[in-house]
């Protein structure tokens, strides 16, 4: 057979090049803005950038604190809101709202369900669903829509009990009824930020863990012994390095012209402080949270000004407005099941972002002014 006599093709030469290191969040590199909800991408951004994760968490916590007033059954309603089961060992309306708000900010929409008992006389639980598996089925008008679920086999089924399904889009647009994520404009900048961090880590792996180049230059009479001396120098150097790992210091002694250099010691590392800060400024500005609340000290006097407090208060108020209808529907459903009038008013706790010391000092000044005023009136 001819193929048995065919000569083997020599192996191609091995070319050693630098490995293309990539950060573990590769989804950010392949991002293409398509206008649809990229839920997996937004969750990846939150996992990859701690500043974004901290900002979302702070917005969720600051938006908490709901109070409800009903025309009848007030005490029973408060007891229900305090002890309602919300799944996975959690209880209370606030735990449900925390999960609901988190999904609203990150995914651009939130989906929940009011679970009633079999006899339909009690609200058994409040549960949040994965918004990535939810599809909206629009009717003849924008007011007519149904919430559907995408099954694992790709089928889309309309959910039963549409009056018990809670759906909230975050800042919906005319052509995007699903809402948009708070992180919608972050993928491009987050990808650049991760590349900078990945390059910084790679440079520290190369230059932080010092590697040495030992060069032996044989003399005119050492040509016959160059190989043996090179191997002996290599063994002695390796032995000295291994001893250093165990905490023992060992000197290296060589005869002849031996040159030892640190690989990468003369390399210049790019300064990442300015580009990283510029990117973080853009990301923090999108969240609406003051930088120093996220641990960033960018100015000499890190205090929340009145303007910053007002802007953050407006952001939190907007989030509360988005989830207020959800709280109203939950309370109205419970009131109807128990035979009470479905009239409820949702009130939120006051947002307090000012310095308590400054508030106490202002209160002291007011009391002093009132005291001086009464003293003048009494003297007159």
Strand partners, 346: 68
Both 229 and 336 in one domain: the answer is no
Both 289 and 242 in one domain: the answer is no
Give the model's pLDDT for residue 251: 73
Both 172 and 125 in one domain: the answer is yes
Q: Cα(134)–Cα(147) distance, rounded to whole angstroms?
A: 7
Both 245 and 342 in one domain: the answer is no
Global pTM exceeds 0.85: no
Give the model's pLDDT for residue 207: 67
The CA R_g of the chain, rounded to the nearest whole Å, is: 33
Mean residue pLDDT of the chain comes to 82
81-95, 133-147, 285-299, 360-374: which has the highest mean pLDDT? 81-95
Instruction: Please tell me the total count of domains within the chain.
Output: 2
Q: Cα(179)–Cα(181) distance, rounded to whole angstroms?
A: 7
Give the model's pLDDT for residue 168: 94
132, part of any domain: yes
Q: Cα(171)–Cα(168) distance, rounded to whole angstroms?
A: 9
Both 158 and 254 in one domain: the answer is no
Alpha carbon separation from 144 to 138, 148, 163, 322 (Å, rounded): 6, 13, 13, 20
Enumerate helices (H) and strands (E) in the chain, giving the number of each.
Answer: 10, 12
Out of 243, 263, 283, a domain closes at 263
Task: Give tens-digit pLDDT for 202-218.
Answer: 777 766 667 777 787 77
Both 130 and 116 in one domain: the answer is yes
10, part of any domain: no
* Burial bucket for residue 21 (CB in 10 Å: 0-12, 13-18, 19+): exposed
Both 275 and 316 in one domain: the answer is yes
What is the domain extent for residue 258?
211-263
The confidence band for 332, taking pLDDT boundaries of 50, 70 and 90, is very high
């Amino acid at each position: 057979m001819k193929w048995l006599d065919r000569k083997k093709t020599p192996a191609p030469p091995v070319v050693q090049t630098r490995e293309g290191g990539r950060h573990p969040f590769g989804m950010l590199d392949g991002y293409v803005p398509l206008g649809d909800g990229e839920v997996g991408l937004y969750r990846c951004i939150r996992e990859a950038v701690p500043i974004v994760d901290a900002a979302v968490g702070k917005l969720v916590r600051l938006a908490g604190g709901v109070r409800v007033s009903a025309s009848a059954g007030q005490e029973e309603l408060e007891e229900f809101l305090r002890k309602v089961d919300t799944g996975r060992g959690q209880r209370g309306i606030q735990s449900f709202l925390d999960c609901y708000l988190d999904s609203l900010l990150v995914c651009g929409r939130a989906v929940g369900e009011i679970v009633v008992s079999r006899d339909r006389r009690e609200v058994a639980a409040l549960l949040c669903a994965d918004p990535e598996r939810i599809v909206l089925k629009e009717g003849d008008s924008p007011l007519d829509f149904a919430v559907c679920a995408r099954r694992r086999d790709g089928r889309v089924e309309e959910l039963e009990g549409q009056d018990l399904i809670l759906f909230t889009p975050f800042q919906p647009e005319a052509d995007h009824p699903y809402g948009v994520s708070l992180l919608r404009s972050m993928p491009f900048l987050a990808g650049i930020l991760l590349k900078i961090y990945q390059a910084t880590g790679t440079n520290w792996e190369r230059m932080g863990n010092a590697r040495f180049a030992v060069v032996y230059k044989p003399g005119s009479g050492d040509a016959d012994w160059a190989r043996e001396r090179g191997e002996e120098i290599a063994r002695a150097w390796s032995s000295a390095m291994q001893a250093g790992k165990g905490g023992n210091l060992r000197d290296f002694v060589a005869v002849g012209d031996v040159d030892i250099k640190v690989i990468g010691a003369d390399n210049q590392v790019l300064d990442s402080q300015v580009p990283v800060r510029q990117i973080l400024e853009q990301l923090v500005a999108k969240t609406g949270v003051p930088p120093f609340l996220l641990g960033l000290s960018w100015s000499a006097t890190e205090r929340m000004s009145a303007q910053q407090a007002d802007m953050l208060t407006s952001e939190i108020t907007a989030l509360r407005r988005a989830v207020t209808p959800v709280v109203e529907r939950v309370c109205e459903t419970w009131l109807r099941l128990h035979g009470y009038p479905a009239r409820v008013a949702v009130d939120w706790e006051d947002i307090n972002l000012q310095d308590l010391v400054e508030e106490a000092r202002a209160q002291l000044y007011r009391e002093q002014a009132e005291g001086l005023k009464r003293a003048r009136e009494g003297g007159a």
